[in-house]
Structures are given as structure tokens and as C-alpha cells.
């Protein structure tokens, strides 16, 4: 079966308290899609965070002394720096314009995933508002999956993805931050290659590979397609957690 990725049509602008599962089901109908066993829904972090009320008005943020001092070094708004500190376990690297952190969820990213783009608050001006990552993306993915499976009777996988930079290359790529019913990591060690050699170290970051493909379909600007339906995924679905692909600190050569 070929791998097909189809953006759902007509997804509205999401607000706090909106029912994402119902929005996805309606998008499937508009797109002429019926869920089947093995299908996957890839959902942009931004609409999950919005539905869960993770928008913050910067005018309500009181920066700490630490945030003010760090903001001077990185040339950022101290209110945003305060939120970055609150959302992070550790500051790893800084330079003007950039703060690299270990997010409280365990992965490494810039600015704790806090974002200005495509964020519009109910009051004030757009620049006053930022969006934080979901509190528990694995749990968010699990809730969406459970309700979609109940509605469809199909066994599904759900990914929540964000756009992250990479240590070795320029440009952001789609990256999984929450999963349910989907293999974050596929271990191919012990399997034979074309010439009978048994693989020694090969583990596939399946969640990130699919996240990157879906991100191409979603777009990064004003496309308005934050949910992608996937059919024909190579590997079997199973229970998993995003923790599968988080490298242990003693194995992290870049800290």
C-alpha cells in the first residue's frame, strides 16, 4: 500500500475549549475520508495548545530578576524569557536571539517551544499573545485517539507535532512531541540487509519521520491545514510514549 498523506479540509480557527475530536471528525467528512484500522492522524501542536487554553498574554507576565538578566544577554523580551524559564528544566545554550533549553517534557528545543506565529488573542494586539506547548502532549494524543476510535471503531495512531530546529542543519522540520498508539522508535537491530548483514545499531525515529512528512503537507504559514490523515504507514501500530526517542543525558554528546 502506498503511503498517502491528506490534509483535512475546512479546519476552523481553534479557540480555547473547542472540541478537537469533533473538529477532526467533521474535517474527515468534508475530505471524503473514512477511518480504517492502521490510519494515523497527525495534529499540529498549535491547535492542541489553543484548545487546551495555553495562550498567555504577555501583559500578565511579571519577569523575575533572573529573566531580566538573561533577557539582556539574549536581547529578548524579559516576559518571554520568564515564560521560557517556567517551561524549562535547564538552560543549555544562549546567544543573542536564541535560548536553547531542555523543555520540562524532556526534549531539547529553542525558546521552550513558545511561539508568536498564528496566535491571535481575544483582546489587545496580536503581539501581546504567545502560545505554550500542551501540558502533556502524550495524554492529549491519547484522548484524541480514544474518542476517534470510539467514533470509528478503527484502531488508530495519533501524533502531535511541532516545528523544531536541528543541531547540525539549518531549517525547522516537523518533530513529534506527543504520540498515542504509534511507534516512536522502530528497532531494526538484528534484521538482515540485502546482503545478509545483520544490522547492529539501526533504530528508526518513525514518529519524527512521519512528523516531518506531515509538516510538509501542513505548511508553516497561512495554509490553515493543521490536521493530516495518513494511510499506508510502513510499521505496525503499537502503544508507545514520546520518551522512547529522548536520548539519556549520559548519551547526549552535545550538552
The model's pLDDT over 175-199, given as tens digits with 9 standing for 90+, comes to 999 999 999 998 877 788 787 888 7
- Tell me what pLDDT residue 192 has: 81
Check: CB of residue 7 under 8 Å from CB of residue 190.
no
- What is the 8-class DSSP label of residue 185? -
Rounded distance between C-alpha atoms, residue 164 and residue 86, angstroms = 19
The model's pLDDT over 41-55, given as tens digits with 9 standing for 90+, comes to 999 999 999 999 999
Rounded distance between C-alpha atoms, residue 161 and residue 134, angstroms = 11
The model's pLDDT over 68-79, given as tens digits with 9 standing for 90+, comes to 999 999 999 999
SS3 163: strand
Which three cell numbers mark 223? 495554509
- Tell me what pLDDT residue 98 has: 94
Residue 239 exposure: Cα atoms within 13 Å on the Cβ side: 3
Rounded distance between C-alpha atoms, residue 102 and residue 85, angstroms = 10
Domains, the chain, in order of start with CATH, read 4-45+135-244 (3.30.1330.100), 55-131 (3.90.1660.10)
Q: Name the stretches of the chain with pLDDT < 50.
A: none
For 94, list phi and psi in degrees, rounded to 5.
Answer: -140, 150
Which three cell numbers mark 227? 490536521
| E strand or H helix at 244 | none
Amino acid at each position: 500500500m502506498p503511503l498517502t498523506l491528506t490534509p483535512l479540509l475546512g479546519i476552523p480557527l481553534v479557540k480555547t475549549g473547542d472540541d478537537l475530536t469533533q473538529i477532526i471528525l467533521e474535517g474527515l467528512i468534508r475530505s471524503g475520508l473514512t477511518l480504517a484500522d492502521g490510519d494515523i492522524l497527525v495534529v499540529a501542536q498549535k491547535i492542541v495548545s489553543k484548545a487546551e487554553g495555553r495562550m498567555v498574554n504577555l501583559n500578565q507576565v511579571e519577569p523575575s530578576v533572573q529573566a531580566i538578566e538573561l533577557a539582556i544577554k539574549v536581547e529578548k523580551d524579559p516576559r518571554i524569557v520568564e515564560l521560557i524559564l517556567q517551561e524549562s528544566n535547564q538552560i543549555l545554550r544562549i546567544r543573542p536571539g536564541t535560548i536553547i533549553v531542555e523543555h520540562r517534557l524532556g526534549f531539547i528545543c529553542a525558546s521552550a517551544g513558545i511561539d508568536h506565529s498564528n496566535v491571535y488573542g481575544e483582546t489587545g494586539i496580536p503581539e501581546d499573545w504567545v502560545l505554550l506547548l500542551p501540558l502533556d502532549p502524550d495524554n492529549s494524543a491519547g484522548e484524541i485517539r480514544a474518542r476517534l476510535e470510539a467514533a470509528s471503531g478503527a484502531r488508530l495512531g495519533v501524533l502531535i507535532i511541532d516545528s523544531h530546529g536541528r543541531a547540525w542543519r539549518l531549517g525547522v522540520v516537523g518533530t513529534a512531541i506527543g504520540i498515542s498508539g504509534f511507534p516512536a522508535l522502530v528497532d531494526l537491530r538484528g534484521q538482515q540487509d540485502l546482503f545478509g548483514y545483520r544490522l547492529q545499531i539501526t533504530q528508526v525515529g518513525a514518529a519524527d519521520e512521519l512528523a516531518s512528512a506531515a509538516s510538509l503537507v501542513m505548511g508553516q504559514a497561512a495554509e490553515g491545514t493543521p490536521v493530516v490523515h495518513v494511510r499506508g504507514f510502513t510499521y505496525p501500530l503499537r502503544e508507545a510514549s514520546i520518551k522512547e526517542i529522548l536520548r539519556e543525558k549520559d548519551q547526549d554528546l552535545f550538552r
